[in-house]
Every structure is written in structure tokens, then in C-alpha cells.
């Protein structure tokens, strides 16, 4: 995988992790049910970021995520 593709995958993982943190931060200002939903979304984003595997098909880099 080219350096640019690796950088893009790394950046995408970081964005997902950052978004998970943001969702956790704002959930405290919401009603109880909404906070639980945001926590669930945050956990799912972290799982996706962790489980994504970098793979190259032919010369095109692709990001495949393992469904959990």
C-alpha cells in the first residue's frame, strides 16, 4: 500500500476514535436514553477503528472492516 493510502487509513481510524470521544463527552448533556445510545455508537466506532484491516487489492488500496 502506498504511503498516501496508509496515511488515509490511519487518519480515518483517528477520526473514528476522536468521534467516539466526542460522543462520550456530549452524552452527559442529554436525557438518559440518548446518552446510552451515544455510548453505544461510541463503542461501535471504537470497534470498527480497531478491527479495520489494511489490505491491498491489485494496485488499489482498500479498507476492509471485520464485522463484529
Q: What is the pLDDT of residues 38-62, one digit of tens each?
A: 788 888 888 877 776 555 444 555 5
What is the domain count for the chain?
1
Strand (E) or helix (H) holding 61: strand 60-65
39: domain range?
Answer: 3-65
CA 17 to chain centre: 5
DSSP state of 1: -
**pTM of the model as a whole:** 0.51
DSSP 28: G
CA distance 14 to 35: 22
The pLDDT value recorded for residue 10 is 80
Q: By C-alpha distance, which of 39, 11, 9 is closest to 24?
A: 39
Amino acid at each position: 500500500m502506498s504511503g498516501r493510502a496508509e496515511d488515509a487509513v490511519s487518519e480515518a481510524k483517528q477520526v473514528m476514535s476522536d468521534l467516539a470521544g466526542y460522543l462520550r463527552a456530549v452524552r452527559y448533556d442529554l436525557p438518559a436514553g440518548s446518552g446510552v445510545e451515544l455510548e453505544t455508537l461510541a463503542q461501535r466506532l471504537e470497534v470498527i477503528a480497531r478491527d479495520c484491516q489494511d489490505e491491498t487489492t491489485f494496485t488499489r488500496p482498500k479498507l476492509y472492516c471485520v464485522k463484529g
